[in-house]
Structure 1
């Protein structure tokens, strides 16, 4: 195609931007009906998969560290003297870490992926290390653990926002959605791994004889510390690999859109805030995903009143997220194969999420609805909810980028993930005061999913970035 990067860090205009009129509405680019479009040529490099792997592992580790405490909250209460407020705050550091989100968006736009990834991974190493400092004073130890969780939360803006930027920079148009799905969903898979690792390594208090014995308390504390040391080692290894090799971009761009000029940082925000269609889908993403993230982070607290053990809660959380990751990657691959159908896919996923969350909420109100409250129904409803919501994340990301192109990918996705964490933070803030009864929390799930479904129904889709790639390639 004869495309090349300019010497400056910003991508310069090599080809004219796509025409604004007529815009390709629910149909495919250049008037082609939505469906199988012509193959798009471009220069790609085999090392793109290594870059994707390193970034995905970084996201996996960040999700694992963030969700360390929720699945073992009962054990942590005994070993470190955590209160219910402490457990909620440990989860709350995730959305708080999004406070400097706009700085990371600026850094990614100006300095590229390598600088941003190295800064992010160094914060994670420092945070994981703080949690391992062997201090005998429990109050000091708790403060160090909280500080470590905050530093890990500061890595959230990069691992959650940079996936579309990475996929556009390194992958061809017919691989972008798949790469976005892998890079973004591995963070959720890390959260799922915490549901598996924590309960399997750390024994629950209700399974320990003579609970008040110091030897039993010390045993649980030692097992928790083993988890903390293992997570620190994994994060340090990923940081070393990224330091050794993580380029900002390939020698030549893989597509026309990857080489084209993007709006400046300031103009991008003006474009986003004035785009009503973008604000619609931003709310459609932020509200249900923010509510679901906060809900899954304290899933053990929610299931304990209905007599679900810590181990069962961990398995429910694990399979709900794993199912979402598998289906999300499959949906993204389908979106790459049949382009121009992102809205249709989201309508299917959000409809399923609304039904699954309503089923779970009504099941928990067994005294009112008389629905059977069994392990099988809880597993099924939670897993379906996780599948439908988590698998929608990469589809939303691709739709954001297509809708507001030529706004840089990191900025558009950064705004919506920041908004999602605001909703998550508000919800967890109320949870710190109302943590004795959770029916109100459960009802937030179907309400948010239904609202998102209505917003997507009213949304008018367009594919401005794909328009440019298809028109020039054809």
Structure 2
């Protein structure tokens, strides 16, 4: 038995593993006869005994029969390993910015060049998200996870070679590799939750996967100042030694996580975890087009509205997080340490918000109502933060920043899961990838504009700019038509029929076509 089989055997393309003598995994590829053509005599109906797959296929008007599903314990290991290497990727993003003054002195570069070590994460994501989501659709979860974890590990080891003065461009190259790894990481939470977790835990699983990335940012606020203290009197040699400890520690952990990724993560379980996954094919249809999938998403008005509103909210959060130190120092001179603590409060409160929002969605399935309420509360939190920032009371800033982070970050898994619901059965990786791309795009735009307004005027003007955009996001969210396609499949409320995409007599079946009801659920 090789490592990894302690959980279960992976499902390879074309395999049909059996489970306890019941129907095999070809339940995913349900097929029916071309009834219409048979009826008019175009195709002669073969006189033979129906196969198990055909006997369970649904004909028009036939009562829906639930397909076999099962939850595997491996799902928790998959979620844990992904969350950990996502954490490490986020840590490597923020580890320079939080001690930027130390790296400026060590490498002898400008503040702008250190800022680019952070901005490169956003810049790299936008053009690379399309090949990354294409790979996820074509090669599956395992290959995408291996690339993300592997690049994260490679970037960490490259940084070990940059722990010396004059080696800034080596560390920049390493950060570029880590930023590419991020593209293969941020789009996976929805896919992992959908293909591994049941309908009553899918939103919590997605929130937990998102939580790993947020936890990495939180650790990035805390750990680098401890490992690399600001001691210029000890010289660059000691400073380089401290930096190398941080780099080598990160590389060692990333190597362990890459090995665990190889052992644990698989594309999907043998049997699906939900009815929504059971009616989907195990592999891509022969006529599947990634380009057509993108076109289908952009033809969906609800998804376009969610795309814009998600980009506005998440981009605003990125901008506030990036410029928080500058805003705090403007009103509270010499409070650099507390500025970092306020940032930590923002992130930790957001982690709590993510988990609670995920639990709430699993319990209620009220996606649009929850999304709209959280959006409105984020807007109110941004208003309170904006107009209390200059009152001169740091405790007030701690409280308002925590409330703002709670709702803004709590929105992230809600947006992911809402997108999966309204775009089902399109790929989860494609929808979440597009959401992240728009978040990065809005984040870059908002950061530069708010930074300019803050520098030329004051933080109040920059924050009002964000408040105006978040209000626009509320309007866009209210216009989204809530059609919970995936949830309707799981609960049996949808008039869903498994119909063949091709006539079996003319061509082997390559998937199913879903005929979904148009019922709307709030």
Please state which band the TM-score falls in when normalised by the shorter chain.
0.7 to 0.9
> Does residue 305 of structure 1 match 2:330?
yes
Contact 1:5/1:252 (<8 A) preserved: no
Distance 1:216 1:360, change over 3 A: farther
Distance 1:5 1:473, change over 3 A: farther
Candidates 72, 86, 102, aligned match of 1:45: 72
Candidates 26, 30, 40, aligned match of 1:14: 30
Q: Secondary structure at the match of 2:184?
A: helix
Aligned residues: 433
Q: Give 1:390 deviation, angstroms.
A: 0.6
Q: Give 1:446 deviation, angstroms.
A: 2.0
Instruction: Map 1:191-340; keep pairs closer than 5 Å.
Output: 191-204=217-230, 213=233, 215-261=234-280, 264-306=289-331, 307=333, 309-339=335-365
Q: Any unmatched runs of 5+ in structure 1?
A: 17-38, 367-371
Contact 1:104/1:158 (<8 A) preserved: yes
User: 1:158 matched to which residue of 2?
Assistant: 184
The structure whose residues are more often helix, as a share, is: 1
Quick one: distance in 1 between partners of 2:67 and 2:339? Answer: 45
Q: Which moved further from structure 2: 222-231 or 94-103?
A: 222-231
Candidates 391, 398, 405, aligned match of 2:417: 398
User: 1:357 matched to which residue of 2?
Assistant: 382
Alpha-carbon RMSD across the aligned residues, in angstroms, is 2.8
User: 1:456 matched to which residue of 2?
Assistant: 477
Contact 1:62/1:152 (<8 A) preserved: yes
> Does residue 388 of structure 1 match 2:414?
no
Contact 1:288/1:445 (<8 A) preserved: no
> Does residue 55 of structure 1 match 2:76?
no
- Which aligned runs of 4 or more in structure 1 are off by greater than 6 angstroms? 431-435
CA offsets 1:237-264 (integer angstroms, 9 cap, x no match): 1111112332111111111211333764
User: 1:110 matched to which residue of 2?
Assistant: 138
Q: Give 1:428 deviation, angstroms.
A: 4.3
User: 1:119 matched to which residue of 2?
Assistant: 147
User: 1:446 matched to which residue of 2?
Assistant: 467
Q: Give 1:58 deviation, angstroms.
A: 1.3
Quick one: distance in 2 between partners of 1:11 and 1:432? Answer: 54
Candidates 364, 374, 389, aligned match of 2:393: 374
Q: Give 1:217 deviation, angstroms.
A: 4.9
Q: Give 1:12 deviation, angstroms.
A: 5.1
Distance 1:45 1:354, change over 3 A: same
Relative to the length of structure 1, the TM-score reads 0.84
Q: Give 1:378 deviation, angstroms.
A: 1.7
Q: Which moved further from structure 2: 230-239 or 278-287?
A: 230-239
Quick one: distance in 2 between partners of 1:8 and 1:435? Answer: 57
Q: Give 1:287 deviation, angstroms.
A: 1.4
Quick one: distance in 1 between partners of 2:326 and 2:179? Answer: 21
Structure of higher CA gyration radius: 2
